[in-house]
Structure 1
Amino acid sequence: MRLPHSPWVEVGGDFAIGLRPIPQAAWLEGGEADPSARKDPLLAAHPAIVWGETPGSRDAQSEALAMVDAVREAQPGEARLPPLLAAARRVSDDLCLMERRDGVWRLTALSLCAPSFFTAQEALGKSLAELHAPVDGFEPRFGGRLERIFSGLRPGLILERRNWTVVNSDALFTPSSAPIRAQIPQISPDEAGQILHLRVERQTLRRLPDTGGALFTIRIWRAPLETLDDDPARLAAFAKAWRRATAEFRKYKGFASYDTLVEGFLRVRGESYSVNDE
C-alpha cells in the first residue's frame, strides 16, 4: 500500500513538534472495517499492555467517548467497559487521555493496541516530561513548548502531527523492540525492501472542554520500504532524511541496526538519490 503520509519529506531526520490545525472532518482517518476485531483479542491476551486507567479519570473518559460518539456509532458489548476503552473499540487509532494533575499534564487513561515499543503499563500516570524522557535532548528543546501547547489548547481546535521510523516488521502490535531487532542479522540485503517497513504515526490532539483534559490519538500506518520505488521524489527525500538524521534521532529510532540494509537498498536504486554532493 502507499502510505498516506510521508513525514520524512516534511521534517527530515530530526525531532519536531510540527503541529498544524486540521478541520474536524479530518480528525479520524479510518481505513479499518472493524477495529474491535483487532483490539478485543489483544485486550483479552495482554490487558496490561494495551489498557490502563487511573482513579478519577472516568469523567474525562466519558467526554472523550462523547466526541467519538459524534463520528462513530456505538457497538454491542460496550456498556460495561470504561468509556475510553469503549471509544477505542470503534476507531483505528489508539486513544490517550491527558489531564492536568497537581499542575502537571499526566497520562490518566489509554488504549494502546498498536504500540511502538512501549506498553500502557509503562506509560500510565507519567507526565509529558517523563513520557519523552527516552528521547535525548527532547526536554530542553521542546519540553516547555509542549506544556504550553497542552495548556493553551482551545476547544474546537484539532492539531495534527506525524513522525516516522524504519522497523523490520509489518505488525501493528509491537510492544517491545527486542524480538524484532533480534531478527535483523537474518535479513538478506536482497530482502531489505520487502522486510524493512516504514512505520508512520499520525497523531492528533484536541481539548476536552468540559473536564479540561486533552485527547491524544495515534494512528499507525506502515508499508514496505520498496513501495518508495513508485515515487522517486519520496525515495530521494527518504535517502536525504536517513543520511542526514541527527545523532539523537538515529539513536532513539535505532537506525544503526539498519544502516547496512538501508544503504544497500538505496545504492541499488542509483546515485541519483545520493545527498553527498549537495
Structure 2
Amino acid sequence: MTLRHRPWEEAADFQIGLKPIAPGDWLEGGEADPAARKDTLIAAYRGLVWAETEDSRPAQAEVWEMVEAALGPAPRPPDLPPLYAAARRVPDDLCLMEKRDGQWRLTALSLSAGSFFTAEQVIGRSLAELHGPVTGFAERFLARVQRIFEGLRPELVLERRNWTLLNSAALHTPTSGPIRSRIGEIDPAQAGDVLNLRVERQTLRRLPRTGGALFTIRVWLAPLDSLRDDPDRLAAFARAWGAATPELRAYKRFDLYDDLVEAFLRGSQSR
C-alpha cells in the first residue's frame, strides 16, 4: 500500500482541519475487493465491526443511494443492512450520524479498520462522547465541530487527514493491548520495517433527504522505511515527530515509540 497523504507535514497538533473538496473526489477507491475483506471480518467479529440503531434504516438507505450515485448502480443484497451493503463497495469505513434528542449521535457504522475502538463500543454515542479520548477536545473543538454538523450543506463535501504510528501492519486494530505489548520485542535496527505510518483520510457530507451526516474513514498504511526513498518526506516526518505537542503525543502514545523512531532516524542519516 502506498500512502496518498502526508498529514504529518501539515500540523504538529490535533486539528479539525476540515476543508471542502470537489464532490467528484469524495471516494478515493484503491482497493480491488473491499467486500471480501469486510465480509470476512463481519462473519468472524460482527459486534466489533458492525452496529446499528433500530431507527437508522431510512438514512442507511440514503447512504446506499449516495454511494451508488458516486460509483454507478449495482445490485443491493436484500438481506444486508443498507449501510453495510454500501460499505462493501468502498475501502472506507462508513459512520452514520443523526440528530437524536438534540444531539448528533452515531446511529450505524461499518468499521473494518477501526483504530483502537469497536462498533459495539461507540454505537449511539454523541459527538462529545465519541471524542472524549482526545485530549482537550471538549474545551478546544467540540462547539466548533457541532457548528460544522449543523451548518453542513448537501452539496458540500469536507475532508480532513490524520495520522499515527503503530507497530502493526493490520487495518483492523480494535484494541491497543496486543499491539503495544509487543513494542519491547522490536529490534531497534528493524524499526523501519516493523513500525507503520497509519494515515486516515476522512470525509463528511450531509444526507439531503433524511438530514443525517455521513462520516467516512479511509485508512492507508505504509512501513516507516518507505520514507527513506524520499529525503524531503523523511525530513518532514522527523520535524513533525520532534515538534508534536505534548497533547498530541499523549493522545497517540508517541512516547512508546520514541527510542525506536530515534534509532530509525539515526540509521537513515547514516545511509
Same-fold call, TM cutoff 0.5: yes
Match of 2:222 in 1: 223
Superposed displacement of residue 185, structure 1: 0.8
TM-score w.r.t. the length of structure 1 is 0.94
Q: Which of structure 1's runs of 4+ aligned residues deviate more than 4 A?
A: 73-77
Cα distance in 2 for residues equivalent to 1:125 and 1:157: 25
Superposed displacement of residue 41, structure 1: 0.9
Aligned length: 270
Superposed displacement of residue 269, structure 1: 2.4
Superposed displacement of residue 73, structure 1: 4.8
TM-score w.r.t. the length of structure 2 is 0.97
Cα distance in 1 for residues equivalent to 2:262 and 2:186: 14
Cα distance in 1 for residues equivalent to 2:16 and 2:252: 16
Cα distance in 1 for residues equivalent to 2:168 and 2:269: 25
Structure 2 residue 148 is matched with structure 1 residue 153: no
Cα distance in 2 for residues equivalent to 1:78 and 1:36: 12
Cα distance in 2 for residues equivalent to 1:249 and 1:132: 14
Match of 1:79 in 2: 78
The amino acid that maps onto 1:114 is A
Cα distance in 2 for residues equivalent to 1:195 and 1:111: 28
More moved, 105-114 vs 239-248: 239-248
Match of 2:98 in 1: 99
Superposed displacement of residue 268, structure 1: 2.2
For the Cα contact (< 8 Å) 1:75–1:90, is it kept in 2?
Answer: no
Superposed displacement of residue 106, structure 1: 0.4
The amino acid that maps onto 1:262 is V
Match of 1:124 in 2: 123
Cα distance in 1 for residues equivalent to 2:63 and 2:151: 18
For the Cα contact (< 8 Å) 2:2–2:220, is it kept in 1?
Answer: no
The amino acid that maps onto 1:86 is A
The amino acid that maps onto 2:118 is T
Match of 1:22 in 2: 21
Match of 2:43 in 1: 44
Match of 1:176 in 2: 175
Percent identity at matched positions?
64
Superposed displacement of residue 247, structure 1: 1.2
For the Cα contact (< 8 Å) 1:72–1:91, is it kept in 2?
Answer: no
Match of 2:8 in 1: 8
Unaligned runs of 5+ in 2: none
Structure 2 residue 61 is matched with structure 1 residue 62: yes
Unaligned runs of 5+ in 1: 272-278
The amino acid that maps onto 2:133 is P
